[in-house]
Amino acid sequence: MHSARGVTLVELMTCLGLLALLAGWTAPVVGGAVDAHRVQGAVADVYGAVHLTRTRARATGVMHALVIEPGGRAFRLVEDPTGAATTVVGPSPFADGAVASANTTIRFSPKGFAVPFGTITVRAGPEVRRVIVSLVGRVRVA
């Protein structure tokens, strides 16, 4: 007598059902991790841009500013000795899905002071981080 080999339709449907359940369960976790990485990358970009802006202002002896573009999807560094902002770097886009607080400008004097000092908020989905610039030009992430 021959023994039948293979899988039954019930076994196949059970396996597919379990795979679908597992995929549905892990999708939100993966999506949240992607948003966290986008925010982390955008914050690193802003953090580096703030330091670069301050360093350029001190090195050249001319006021420089970090400008978040309207819409919050990019930033640029401008040299601003007379109020006629000349773009030095950028615009540099953020990772897809990451947005910074729009129309934010932080200027650095030739002495390295931030005028005005403030906060740049970066978000992607539910993930939010803040880059805080103090009056003396120190930067921290919250």
Assess if residue 16 is contained within a domain.
Answer: no
11 has a pLDDT exceeding 80: yes
Determine whether 58 is exposed, middle or buried from the number of CB atoms within 10 Å of its CB (0-12, 13-18, 19+): middle
Assess if residue 121 is contained within a domain.
Answer: yes
Please tell me the least confidently modeled range out of 13-17, 34-38, 53-57, 105-109: 34-38
Assess if residue 6 is contained within a domain.
Answer: no
pLDDT for position 1? 59
Query: Comparing C-alpha atoms, which of 141, 140, 112, 116 is closest to residue 128?
Result: 141
**Total count of domains within the chain:** 1
Give the structural domain span for 76. 35-141
Assess if residue 54 is contained within a domain.
Answer: yes
39 has a pLDDT exceeding 70: yes
For residue 20, the 8-state DSSP code is H
Tens digits of residue pLDDT in 70-102 = 888 888 888 876 667 777 787 888 777 777 876
pLDDT for position 82? 64
pLDDT for position 43? 83
Assess if residue 128 is contained within a domain.
Answer: yes
Q: The domain that contains 82 carries what CATH number?
A: 3.55.40.10
Assess if residue 74 is contained within a domain.
Answer: yes
| CA angle, 61 then 47 then 70, to 5° | 85
Q: What is the pTM of this model?
A: 0.70
Assess if residue 86 is contained within a domain.
Answer: yes
Band the pLDDT of 31: cuts 50, 70, 90: low
Tens digits of residue pLDDT in 13-30 = 888 888 888 777 776 666
Question: What is the helix (H) or strand (E) element at residue 107, kind and residue range?
Answer: strand 105-108
125 has a pLDDT exceeding 70: yes
